[in-house]
Structure formats: structure tokens, C-alpha cells
Structure 1
Amino acid sequence: MVLIAAAVFTKAGKVIISRQFIEMTKARIEGLLAAFPKLITSGKQHTFVESDSVRYVYQPMEKLYMVLITTKTSNILEDLETLRLFSKVIPEYCRNLDEKDISENAFNLIFAFDEIVALGYRESVNLGQIKTFVEMDSHEEKVYLAVRQTQEREAKQKMREKAKELQRQRLEASKRGVSLGRGGSSSSSSFGGGISSGGFGSISSSSSLSQPSVGIGETAPSPVKKPAPTRNALKLGGKSKDVDSFVDQLKSEGENVTNLAPTSHSAAPVARAKANVHTEDVHLRVEDKMNLRIGREGGLQLFELFGLLTLKVADEKYGKIKVQLENNVNKSIQLQTHPNVDKELFRSANQIGLKNSTKPFPINTDVGVLKWRYQTQDETAIPLTINCWPSQNPEGGCDVNIEYELEHQQLQLQDLSLSIPLPTGCQPTVVDCEGDYHYDKGKNRLQWNISIVDASNPAGSMEFSCPSSIPGDFFPVEVTFVSKVPYADLKVLHVTKVDDDSAVPFSVETIFYPEKYEIA
């Protein structure tokens, strides 16, 4: 089937949301949507209607219609099966099934629609998988929120310190018999100056401060005419000194922060190290994400690997290409090509090419051409083993030994970080440590950082003690890292044109990182 668009209508024929899956002009898609209410007739039990060029497959849902627009040559049975999946998705996010509820949850529905259909073809997913994909956590969002919260705490702390400083100045001035205004200056001083507290701009004292208080034996001064308020009291978009100091603090604590844009929601800060990747007109990205949970007594509880190979063509002259891969992937890893990719070509020659070789790949668009998935209970699949061994000591606390070991020697892990929870208010005493460590008092965590772990440096250990604690206080241990070597042994060898097999310049970016890696 070729699915053109999916839309939700009211019974009155109003379009609430619509998602287009193939390239088509705005006027054309609006015309197709406007034609649907005119084609349906009340009182009939048909599930589809046709126009001269397309077919509308629909299903009534209380006050709504769930509508799919397909080509007239598509398989009606497949269309109906896809329609049923769309109809199951809507109640998962909308309870009332009315226009208001659909509008409020429009983004979640559109994201779910994109998981069902890609480039006009149905994906092999079920309802549970769709919910999982849509609700996946974002590491970058968590880092961004953590940065924002830290900035707010620092700003509040600076405000408290400034208030204490002003209060101290007032007390000292009162002892000397000198009266101070709110700005912290004596009553004989000019009120034209501003109070500056770091990155918050300058606020004119004359527009916000009352008249200075009158000391004993003094006469009240005559009213002072207030000058016009400063126009540039707060400058938006300027570089904040607080942000700079915060970045410097992160760097002093061992964090590698490469991008921080607190004034822009579209570019969340990335705390994970990222090298500047040179990109050619044909750029490929190999991404491996892993979810791993190991029991504190040992034993693999969860291992999930999700991988994706994306292709981006920047120049239309390289649209008709084939990508040659070296596929040494473990046979237990399930590989799946995009529906538009020639499966036989991939099986026989490990090449990525379109079924219709006369058509080009989309231009300036990241296209997922191959994905893979791996779930196992085999402990040999664990790339990095962590052993955390707390034992109680005679003083009522715990001595903790924790070590790591790289099991897959071909990997090179950068910025390995082990975050160990601690009891509230309990400061650890580190006896031995390979690498760096940092005690975060605010979060009650001990951060152990190793810059690189590879075949030449495959193992390390740390030992510390913690008073007034029990072994269960030190779990779960959370692990983060990033690697330029993918977990799945998949490499891009070369890219050639379909027409004449001439070589095409290309670039490759590879990344492997854990979405969640913990010892619980």
C-alpha cells in the first residue's frame, strides 16, 4: 500500500489534525482533505469511498472520523488493517475522543502516526511498540533540565548572598549613626546608581527605592525628582555572566560541555563530548543505543540494543547511489531494511539501494535505511561489567569497593562516568581511585570519571568508606559513556552511483551510548 496521509475529522467535516507521508504540495493535500466530507453519505455502512485519483478509508469513532488517504491501487485489506491500528492509537492518548482532546494531544498523535508509517509504507509495529517509541526518554532533555535547575539554584543563592551583604552594611551603618537606603549607600549618596547582581542586568535604584530613612536628629530631605527609568535595564539575548560562570564550574568539576544555549529551547545543551564531524555530500550515521540493567548480586536482568543507519544526500547529483557495507553483525541481532530499500540486494551483496533504482534518495533529509534490534539474557553480551561490593565495617558504616572491566576489547569508551548514590549528609572518604572523582553534596552522589577505557586500559577500581550507612544505600549505580566504535560490527566501505558504479565521496559518523545503564 502507499499511504498518502492520515487525518482526524469531526462528523461535521472539519479537519482537526492531518499527517502527510509523501511529497505533495500544500494545495493538493488541502484539496484532498476538503473533498472527503462531500463524498461520504449518512446511513451507509461503507468503510471507504473513492474519488478520481485516491481512496478514502475511514472509521467512525463517536464524534470523529479516522481517515486514511491512499492510492486507488493499494490493497484494501492492508488499508483496513492499518486503519484499525490508527484507530487503536487515538484512545491511548485521548480519553474523550472530541475535538478539544484531539487538539491537546496532537503532537503525541503525530509522533505515533510517524511510527506506524514511514515514507508512505506501513512499518511492522504493534501498539505496545508505538507507545514505547513515543515515550522514550531524552538524555539531552534531562541534561538541559538539570542545567536549568542548577542555574536557578545559583541565581537564588546569589540573591541571598546579596541580601545578606546589604543587611550587613545596614547594621554597620546604623552602628556608625549613618542611615542607608535600600541600595546599600548612605543617605548623602546619589541614587542614580544601579544594583548589579551578576547576569541579571542593571536596575535603576531611583525607580524602585523609597526615600532614604531619616536618622535621629536629622531633618527629612526635600523630595528628589525621580529621573526617567533606564530603557536598557534588562537586555534580552545578551551573553549571561551566570551562564559563563556555570560552564566554568562544570568544567572545573570535570564535565565536558561543548554547547550551552539557555535562551533557546530548540538547541538543548549537550554535555556529552562530540567531535566536529566533517560531512560530505553523502553522509551516513551509525547510531547504537543500549538499555542495560544488572542485578547488584550479579546476573543480567535487561539487555536491549537499538541501532539505526541513516543516510543524508546534500547534492541531487548523488541521489541515485548504492552503499556497500561490511556486515559482521552477530546473527542474533535482527536487521531490518526500510520498505523502499531492496531487501534482496542487501541480503545477497550487503548493499543499500532503492527498490526502484531509477528514483533518487530524498535530498537534504536524514533517511533511516537500516535498523537493528537485539535482546538477550546472555551475559557475554555485556560490553562493560561493573562490580560494586559494599561491606559493613565495625564503625557502623560501609567500605565500598567498585571496579569496572571492558569485556569487548574492540570498543573504545570515552568519558566513562559511574554515579554512586550515598546516604543523605554522608561524605565519603576515598581511599584509592583510578581516574577522577567528585562528591556532589547537593545530589548525595559520588561521581567516578575515567576519560578513556580501551584495550590498553580495560579495567580500574575505586575504594571508599562511608559512615552511618548500609550496603543498600549505594544502589543503583548509574553508568554513562560514549563510543565512536559501534556495538554492532557494521561498517560503511564505499558509496557508488547506480548508473556507472563510479565512486562517490562520503563521510561516516558512528556513535554508541547507553540510554540507561544501571546496577540495581
Structure 2
Amino acid sequence: MVLLAAAVCNKAGKAIISRQFVEMTRSRIEGLLAAFPKLMNTGKQHTFVETESVRYVYQPLEKLYMLLITTKASNILEDLETLRLFAKVIPEYCRNMEESEIVDQSFSLIFAFDEIVALGYRENVNLAQIRTFTEMDSHEEKVFQAVRQTQEREARDQMRKKAKEIQQRQRDMAKGSRSGFGSSGGFGSSSYRSDNTVFDPTPVEPVKSSYSQPSKPSGPSKALKLSTKKKDVDTFVGQLESEGEKVVDSNKSMSTTVAKMSTPAANQESVHIVVEEKISVTAGRDGGLQNMEVLGMIKLKITDEKNGRVKIFLANNDDKGVQMQTHPNIDKKMFLASSNIGLKNPDKPFPLNTDIGVLKWRLQTQDESLMPLSINCWPSETGSGCDVNIEFELERTELELEDVLISIPCPSGVGSPVVGDCDGDYQYDSRAHMLKWTMPVIDASNKSGSLEFSIAGHPDDFFPVNVSFVSKKSYCDIQIKDVRFVEDDQPVKFSDEVLFYVDKYEIV
């Protein structure tokens, strides 16, 4: 089917929102929508009407219509199925089918429409996938938020324990000062300093300096148990290391990697641009790429009102054939002609203090040469188990991959693998039964490496192999060249950052 446009209109044919999937003038789409109510036959139960050139497929939504405009050559059954999916999307964003609420949610609805149809053809998606794509849910962000919440919770617990310790010290010193007063019959220098310490609004430092030998508390103090848990953990870690286990602080390594991906760039200018890409790869263990998908987006954030009316100059060096799509409010003709991004109405500024997605692109392929990193895993059965050889090769040498982690599953209950040769570093997670092979950087000067190990098991035990990495270079080689004012074409100071990361990368 070829879908020309999707619109939500009222019974008079006035468009509330409309998304065109082929080149079409505003007057043309308004004319088609205005003609729609006149073509409907009252009293007949139909879901479509036709003219000499187009077909209208519609579904009532209380006082409104969900309307698709297609060519007459399209499959009516596919049209109706697509219409039902469009109609299901509307209630996801609008509780009441009112014009005002449709207008309020127009951007969200248009983004959802774009996930259903691309370049006039229906995408193979369902409602749950559309919700996931439009929410742009990030696993890395969830991990970062979880780590940060854990750190904040631990800091609050530490603060409470410290406060109890300080209060206990104050009570102990108050007891000591009262006993000193009873024996001497007056305010001695020691008692005077002790009293000042008790009522000092910041008592931590004076405790150490002015009361050098406080009396011991009569009962057990909770403050004495402050480091018990940490000592137990340290003792347990020491036992593991003495038994040959290599222990790494997972929270530290996780937070370091996530921070690289989630922390905003320092010294952001009032015009800040983010080029973000994520890749999903599924490859076969015997070679061959089953599927690879790269989703990218350029997000613009403006924090100064005087820089609201700008246009962005791109250097589009893509040679892989990605499909690009601009935001509905972006001048598409200007982008196609010169790769420049600006608003359709140059008199209007971009919204302030909001991350705006102005351009998105997609690449889906089964071409092995487009894989950024190829992984070959060769398990060979021996009399006592398996010898496993695994190697990587950087296929796209223009990329620089950082924090590369290759995770190889191992069979349980057979002990740790015996590693014979390794480029980079490795560690064995005995709880997850996973051998983790890490490289800080893979680039043109360090584009290949290998790992060999032996362990009891069967060749199928070592799959799927999972890979993760981040990169500060765009996979599709889309770069921000310049930003200029619309009025006088003068340059605008801007900052930009690039983030290319893995959503899923596995060899099955």
C-alpha cells in the first residue's frame, strides 16, 4: 500500500493534525480533507469512500474522524488494518477525544504516526513497540539512576549513623563535665571547654580539638558498629582473593561506564546539539549477519532566547544509505537541498530549555561489511572439555570504540576457565558464570585481538556472546558543521557531543 497522509479531522473536514508521508502541498491536503465530508453517504455503513484519484479510509472517534488517504491501487484490507492501529494510538495519548487535547498532544501523535508509516509504507510494528520507540526508554539511564539512588540512600544512612555518633559523644561529654563539676566545686577549664563543646552548633571538629580524652560510655554505643559491615565485606573479599578469585567493584565500574554515557557535556553553550545513535546487531555463530539496525537522532537544546532563530549546517558523509526524516516543523526542502536544518517558518524561534529531536535516521541491513565489530567464537571439543578461541576484528576502521566488553557465558558447576592467551584484560564472574573480556579502546591502531581459554563443557554452552561499547564518533558520519543566525547568517557559538552506543549486540 502507498499511504499518502494520516489525519485527525472534525466532521466539517477541518484538520486537527495531519501527517503527510509523500510530497504534498498544504493546499492539496486541505482540499482533500475538506472534500471528505461531502463524499460520505449518510445512512450507509461504510469505512471508505473513493474519488477518481484517492481513497479515504476512516473510523469515527466520537466527534472526530481518524482518516487515512491512500491511492486507489492500495490493498483495502491492509488499509483497514493500518487504520485500526492508528485508531488505537490516539487513546494512548489523549484521554478525551476533544480537539483541544489532540492539539496538546500533536507532537507525540505525529511521532507515533511516523513509527507506523515510513515513506508511505507500513512498518511492521505493534502498539507496544510504538510506545517503546516513542518513549525512547534507555536501559543505560535506568542503570545510572539506580546507581545514583543507591549512592544517595547509602549517603543518607551514613549521615544518620554519623549524627547518632555525634549525639552519643555529646552525651558522654556531658556526663564527664557534670562529674568534673561535682568533684572540683567550680567551673574548671576542662569543664568550661566541655560545656562549650556540647552547645557548639558545629560540634564535630571541636570534639577532636578541645576534648582530647572523652570518658568511655557506660553502655554499648551504636557508633562503635559503624564500620562492622564494611569490615565483614572486606574480610569476605580477602578470602575470595586468597582463593584465586579476581574481585572487581562492580558498582564502581558500572557507574564509570554509565557516567560516560549519561553525564552531560561540560561547558555547554546556549546552543547545544547532541548526535545520538544506538545499534542493535544479531549475528550467527557460524558467520553471517542476521540483522543490524542503527537508529539515530539529532537533538537541539537552546537556553538563551536571543539564539532561538538559528539554522544548523550538517556535514552528511553517510555512504551506507540511511533513511532520514525531519521533524514536521523543520523545512524539509531546505534539508534535502543543502543538508541544513531550520524551521519552516523562519520568523518563529525554537522552543527554549527543551531537548528537541529535529532529525532522525534509520539504517537496517544484512550486509556484514557494515558491522562495526565482528566476533568469531570457535569452541573445540577435547577429551576433558572445550578449548575456546574467540577473536574480534574492527570492520569500520574510522570508528573508535571505548569501554568494549565481550561477555562469554560458561557452563556452571565446572569451575573457572583456564585462560591461556588474552589481548586486553579479563575477569570471571563466578556467580553469573560469565567470562568478561574488556578492552579500553579498539581503533585502527588496535583493530584485532584474541582470547583463548579451556573449560569443561559443550560448544553450545558459550553462546550467545554479548558485546557492549560506546563511541564518541557517529557511525553514520553525520557531523555538526556550523550554526548561524537566520536573519544575518552570522555564526553562533555552539557546543555539540556525539554518543554511539549498543542497544543489543549478540552472536547467537
| Letter of the 1:365 counterpart | T
State the distance in 1 between where 2:426 and 2:9 align: 53
Give the structure with the larger helix fraction.
2
Q: Tell me the SS of whatever aligns to 1:358.
A: coil
CA-to-aligned-CA distance 1:465-502 (integer Å, 9 cap, x gap)? 112x0011000000000000010111111111010000
**What does residue range 193-342 of structure 1 map to in structure 2 within 5 Å?**
193-194=221-222, 251=249, 255=253, 257-258=255-256, 270=259, 272=261, 276-330=265-319, 332-342=321-331
State the distance in 2 between where 1:394 and 1:67 align: 72
Distance 1:359 1:145, change over 3 A: closer
Matching of residue 443 in structure 1 with residue 432 in structure 2: yes
Shift of 1:143: 3.2
Whether the aligned pair in 1 keeps the contact of 2:277 and 2:474 (CA below 8 Å) is yes
TM-score of the two chains, using structure 1 as the length reference: 0.59
State the distance in 1 between where 2:383 and 2:439 align: 31
State the distance in 2 between where 1:437 and 1:149 align: 29
Matching of residue 483 in structure 1 with residue 471 in structure 2: yes
Whether the aligned pair in 2 keeps the contact of 1:477 and 1:519 (CA below 8 Å) is yes
CA-to-aligned-CA distance 1:49-72 (integer Å, 9 cap, x gap)? xxxxxxxx9945xxxx58689xxx
Whether the aligned pair in 1 keeps the contact of 2:317 and 2:477 (CA below 8 Å) is yes
State the distance in 1 between where 2:321 and 2:352 align: 34
Shift of 1:303: 0.5
| Letter of the 2:459 counterpart | P
| Letter of the 1:489 counterpart | D
CA-to-aligned-CA distance 1:335-357 (integer Å, 9 cap, x gap)? 11111111111111110011111
| Letter of the 1:327 counterpart | N
Aligned to 1:116: 109
Unaligned runs of 5+ in 2: 11-16, 19-42, 46-57, 71-79, 97-104, 118-123, 155-216, 238-246
Aligned to 1:89: 89
Q: Tell me the SS of whatever aligns to 2:495.
A: strand
Q: What is the root-mean-square deviation in Å for CA atoms of aligned residues?
A: 4.7
Whether the aligned pair in 2 keeps the contact of 1:284 and 1:312 (CA below 8 Å) is yes
| Letter of the 2:450 counterpart | S
| Letter of the 1:359 counterpart | K
| Letter of the 1:125 counterpart | I
Matching of residue 128 in structure 1 with residue 139 in structure 2: no
Distance 1:297 1:77, change over 3 A: closer
Structure 2 residue aligned with 1:355, among 339, 344, 350?
Answer: 344
Matching of residue 143 in structure 1 with residue 148 in structure 2: no
Whether the aligned pair in 2 keeps the contact of 1:406 and 1:458 (CA below 8 Å) is yes
Whether the aligned pair in 2 keeps the contact of 1:143 and 1:270 (CA below 8 Å) is no
Aligned to 2:407: 419
Distance 1:273 1:304, change over 3 A: same
CA-to-aligned-CA distance 1:159-210 (integer Å, 9 cap, x gap)? xxxxxxxxxxxxxxxxxxxxxxxxxxxxxx9655338765899xxxxxxxxx
Distance 1:190 1:59, change over 3 A: farther
| Letter of the 1:498 counterpart | V
State the distance in 1 between where 2:345 and 2:90 align: 34
Unaligned runs of 5+ in 1: 7-19, 22-43, 47-56, 70-74, 104-111, 155-188, 202-240, 260-268
State the distance in 2 between where 1:508 and 1:342 align: 22
State the distance in 1 between where 2:129 and 2:224 align: 48
Q: Tell me the SS of whatever aligns to 2:502.
A: strand
Aligned to 1:212: none
Distance 1:495 1:145, change over 3 A: closer
Distance 1:197 1:58, change over 3 A: farther
Q: Tell me the SS of whatever aligns to 1:117.
A: helix
Structure 1 residue aligned with 2:388, among 397, 400, 413?
Answer: 400
Matching of residue 379 in structure 1 with residue 368 in structure 2: yes
| Letter of the 1:135 counterpart | T
State the distance in 1 between where 2:149 and 2:303 align: 39
Distance 1:90 1:311, change over 3 A: closer
| Letter of the 2:271 counterpart | V
Distance 1:515 1:200, change over 3 A: farther
Aligned to 1:460: 449
Q: Tell me the SS of whatever aligns to 1:308.
A: strand
Whether the aligned pair in 2 keeps the contact of 1:68 and 1:83 (CA below 8 Å) is no
Shift of 1:365: 0.9
| Letter of the 1:194 counterpart | K
State the distance in 2 between where 1:432 and 1:457 align: 17
State the distance in 1 between where 2:388 and 2:465 align: 12
Shift of 1:76: 9.9
CA-to-aligned-CA distance 1:13-42 (integer Å, 9 cap, x gap)? xxxxxxx99xxxxxxxxxxxxxxxxxxxxx
Matching of residue 501 in structure 1 with residue 467 in structure 2: no
CA-to-aligned-CA distance 1:78-119 (integer Å, 9 cap, x gap)? 9xx99965532379x89xxxx9xx89xxxxxxxx9865325x
Distance 1:86 1:334, change over 3 A: closer
State the distance in 2 between where 1:422 and 1:400 align: 11
| Letter of the 2:316 counterpart | N
TM-score of the two chains, using structure 2 as the length reference: 0.61
Distance 1:478 1:324, change over 3 A: same
| Letter of the 1:516 counterpart | K
Shift of 1:382: 0.6
Whether the aligned pair in 2 keeps the contact of 1:255 and 1:271 (CA below 8 Å) is no
Q: Tell me the SS of whatever aligns to 2:489.
A: coil
Aligned to 2:187: none
| Letter of the 1:482 counterpart | V
State the distance in 2 between where 1:464 and 1:273 align: 34
State the distance in 2 between where 1:328 and 1:480 align: 25
Distance 1:149 1:378, change over 3 A: same
Whether the aligned pair in 2 keeps the contact of 1:321 and 1:353 (CA below 8 Å) is yes
Distance 1:325 1:275, change over 3 A: same
Aligned to 1:513: 501
| Letter of the 1:329 counterpart | D
State the distance in 2 between where 1:273 and 1:456 align: 27
Distance 1:274 1:394, change over 3 A: farther
Structure 1 residue aligned with 2:459, among 460, 466, 471?
Answer: 471
